[in-house]
Structure 1
Amino acid sequence: MKKIGIITFHRSHNCGSMLQAYALQTVVGRMGYQPEIINFSNLGQRKLYRPFQSGLNPKTLAKNAIALAHLNRIRRNDACYERFISERFLLSEGDVSRCEELSSDGYSAVICGSDQVWNVTIDDADDAYFLPWVTDAAKIAYAASFGARNIMKYSDDSKRYAGYLRAMDSISIRENNGRKWIHELTGLDVPVVLDPTLLLDAEDYIAIEDSTVALPSEYIFYYSPTYDRSINRLVKRISAKYGLPVICFNAKAFYVKGMDMMGFSLPEREDPSVYLALMRHASLVITTSFHGTIFSTMFERPFWTIKNGGMFGDDDRVLTLMDLLDLVDRLIPIEFDDDRNYLSPKDYAMYRGLREDQRKTSLMFLGEALSEAR
């Protein structure tokens, strides 16, 4: 059986990143290959998910003081994420943090992606995700994302990245802007495919959700990477309108933003399995997140994605997804609208058909790319 390496953000303590890694691993295995997630995580990523930030400016010191006050909870959550990694991922041996330490020996192909592995501006950016270290295996990019950062604008050496991309055997991208930027950079025309999470069914995720976490019978699940205060106020007003409690995620951001003082709460522990349970059982999901949008639809929940920040510029991650799958009607502004029925269900009939069509196209790309495995 041919072994296929996968290099992605599997070690991020971020549910979307971890679940897309799990999904791609699962799909590659079902195609008849032996998947292995390459246990690479650079120093930038390791620092990013530590309880405390480095720096002595007043804002950082204040955040660290808040994190210290809730350190036991943050560390307990970190342990849950690490347990998910050890139990759910088929990992390579060792623990690699530098691109120079990577080797393609033993792999018939290596897949980079999905997630923002080609965003050159983030703390965990690394050339390793462009596969220059792969010398004797097929190089495949599946649903890679630039995360709204055009390499030609944000890198001082775009020619290097053009060379990496031209050396790939098969490339697919996750967003429309990414497809345009690759063409501008290399002249290559590449397809837009689904995020790996959408290649699985709800039942696949129910099988790994945490069924023991205590949840109220009805609640709003509010999921956002940063918890912007203006959106927090919107969620507070929706909660008051319907008399529903609000459950959030990410203890560190929760306490830094003072969300406990708004009457919001956290689950007793955090990891992707708890996240899945919160998504599936929510009366309403409110999110600003790409994967928050995906999992709202995976379980066909009433949901709203709040248009904010980069969505008004080059960040088309959510917009590409919504255009592809008939979800644009669930994208709303930050302003509260008392006439809107925020609990209104989404009609998923068209979504199901569009998703199935996109899934077939995406699986065809991946199958053909893997057929070239050496």
Structure 2
Amino acid sequence: MPLHTNYGGIIQAYALQRAIRDLGHRAFVDTDDPVPLRRRALHRVWAVRRAVRMLLPARVDWGWRAPREVLAPQQRFVRRHLSTPSAVKRADTARGRARLARRFDTFVVGSDQVWRAAYAEIPEEFLEVIEEFHGDRPRRISYAASFGRDDIDEYSEAERARATELIRRFDAISVREESGIRICAEEFGVRAERHLDPTMLLTPDHYRGLIARSRTTTAPATAPAAGRTLIYRLDATDDMLRAERAIAERVGAPPMELLPTQAPRSYAEYAADRARFDRPSVEHWLASIASADFVVTDSYHGCVFSILFNRPFVVHANARRGAARFESLLGVFGLEHHRADASAAGIDERVFAPDWDRVNRVLDAERERARAYLVANL
């Protein structure tokens, strides 16, 4: 998936690349589709145009520059930590596809909602680009690939048929949700295993190391949410707003919004208070969750990192973005009671004192099982 605004999407791509490298392999992340030569030439022209526009003062071209300025802290992480060559882009011809297949031993698909038709390109995400190649190499596997939902009703009939054809060429299939196992069996006739989101393959100490190293260049606070109830909200609802107020009062820690609540309307407004509008860096995002007294979120990866950092939390499963993800994740760790219902009054008191020793034992076992899958299939 594109590595643009989604913190979870960026960090899970980083984590899977790092986990594979830690096993002794060279790993690269590619988010492209095959692009014809003519369009690639146009892309180069657009790249030059972008470079020229970036040299102009922001106030001259603010409408175009605004999102790039606001998202710059996130993109620094991508440039610094992710190897993202565009190998697939040149595979628009038979010769290009053959060259791609020779270059890599294994293609890994995963993870964050890559098999959800509303968000991803189907059937491209089932490795259509190397469909015609057979034999021992290149291998095709998925790791914690997510459908996001408990069905594939968003697929067209043509997409279902093509996905069925392509997934049967995979050497091993790993999905992120329990419902994904059933979808693979009933819709595609293949066997799948469930594994952790790739972010959980790395330890909390690894992420704390990223936070610590980032201080040498960006100087974020070491504990930006200490003593606060962290609010990491993607879509505001009345239920969530009520829960935020109730939990902050119950915890006795004032709320802190992790994301900006509005976009700048002009360059002058942005220049007067950049900190108000800039999205936090990935390292600051991590540090905020790690240091919070309590986390209230409707984000899947907000939930993941609350578990990783052992922070008490409540999650409002965002049905529009995919509720099945939350059900499976919370079920693995026995934390179903951390999912808030339709009223703040329904919050279970157990969320304020989780049994982190038990959770961490489950996490260690799941992490080892996931690594064994990767070792066996890479």
In the superposition, the TM-score normalised over structure 1's length comes to: 0.77
Comparing 14-23 with 71-80, which one deviates more in the overlay?
A: 71-80
- Which sits farther off after the overlay, 213-222 or 291-300? 213-222
- Describe the superposition over 1:201-245 as per-residue Cα deviations: whole angstroms up to 9, x where unpaired: 001111112543243641111113222243123213333455533
CA contact (8 A) 2:15 2:199 kept: yes
Q: Which has the larger radius of gyration?
A: 2
CA deviations on 1:46-72 (whole Å, 9 max, x unpaired) are: xxxxxxxxxxxxxxxxxxxxxx99998
Q: CA deviation at 1:78?
A: 1.2
Verify: 1:255 aligned to 2:262, yes or no.
yes
Q: 1:149 to 1:28 in 2, by over 3 A?
A: same
Other-structure match for 1:60: none
Q: Distance in 1 between matches of 2:7 and 2:230?
A: 14
2:126 to 110, 117, 130: 130
Q: 1:267 to 1:328 in 2, by over 3 A?
A: farther
Q: Give distance in 2, aligned partners of 1:345 and 1:71.
A: 46
Q: Which amino acid aligns with 1:142?
A: Y
Per the alignment, residue 364 of structure 2 pairs with 356
Q: CA deviation at 1:130?
A: 0.9
Task: Provide the rounded CA distance (Å) in 1 between the counterparts of 2:139 and 2:308.
Answer: 32
Residues 104 and 85 (structure 1), Cα distance of their counterparts in 2 relative to 1, 3 Å cut: farther
Confirm whether residue 333 of structure 1 aligns to residue 326 of structure 2: no
Residues 204 and 339 from structure 1, CA distance in 2 versus in 1: closer, same or farther, beyond 3 angstroms? closer
Letter in structure 2 aligned against 1:38: D
Flag structure 1 segments of 5+ consecutive residues without an equivalent. 1-8, 44-67, 257-264
Aligned to 2:233: 224
Does 1:86 pair with 2:79? yes
Equivalent AA in structure 2 for residue 18 of structure 1: I
Alignment of 1:1-374 (within 5 A): 9=1, 11-40=3-32, 74-93=67-86, 96=89, 103-122=100-119, 124-134=120-130, 135=133, 136-148=137-149, 150-151=151-152, 154-157=155-158, 158-209=160-211, 210-211=214-215, 212-214=219-221, 215=224, 217-242=226-251, 244-251=253-260, 254-255=261-262, 269-307=279-317, 309=319, 315-337=323-345, 344-370=352-378
State the shift of 1:297 in Å. Answer: 1.1
* Equivalent residue letter for 1:19: I
CA contact (8 A) 2:142 2:173 kept: yes
Note the residue ranges of structure 2 that are not aligned, 5 or more in a row: 36-60, 264-274
Structure (1/2) with the larger helix percentage: 2
Alpha-carbon contact 1:249-1:266 (below 8 Å) kept? no
**Partner of 1:57 in structure 2?**
none
Q: Is the contact between residue 308 and residue 334 of structure 1 (CA under 8 Å) also seen in structure 2? A: no
Deviation at 1:150, TM superposition (A): 2.7
- Residue deviations 1:16-63 (CA, integer Å, cap 9, x gap): 1111111111110011100111242799xxxxxxxxxxxxxxxxxxxx
Displacement of 1:346 after TM fit? 1.6
Contact 1:222 1:286 in 2 (8 A): yes
Structure 1 residues 91 and 71: alpha-carbon distance in aligned structure 2, compared to 1, 3 A threshold: closer
1:143 aligned counterpart, secondary structure: coil
Residues in 2 aligned to 1:197 and 1:99: alpha-carbon distance in whole angstroms: 32
- Match in the other structure for 2:40: none
Q: 1:217 to 1:174 in 2, by over 3 A?
A: closer
Counterparts in 2 of 1:322 and 1:39: CA distance versus 1, 3 Å:
closer
TM-aligned CA distance change 1:10 to 1:88, over 3 Å: farther
Aligned length: 325
Identity percentage of aligned residues = 24
Q: Secondary structure at the match of 2:369?
A: helix
- Give the direction of change, closer, same or farther, for the CA distance of 1:222–1:167 in structure 2 (3 Å limit): same
Deviation at 1:277, TM superposition (A): 0.7
What TM-score comes out, normalization by structure 2 length?
0.76
* Secondary structure of the corresponding residue to residue 141 of structure 2: strand
Question: 1:119 & 1:183 partners in 2: Cα distance?
Answer: 17
Contact 2:203 2:308 in 1 (8 A): yes
AA of the residue aligned to 1:86: R
SS at match of 1:148: coil
For residues 247 and 184 of structure 1, do their structure 2 counterparts lie closer, same or farther at Cα, with a shift above 3 Å needed?
A: same
Q: Measure, in 1, the Cα distance between the counterparts of 2:326 and 2:63.
A: 32
> What RMSD over aligned residues (CA atoms) do the two structures have, in Å?
3.1
Counterparts in 2 of 1:94 and 1:143: CA distance versus 1, 3 Å: closer
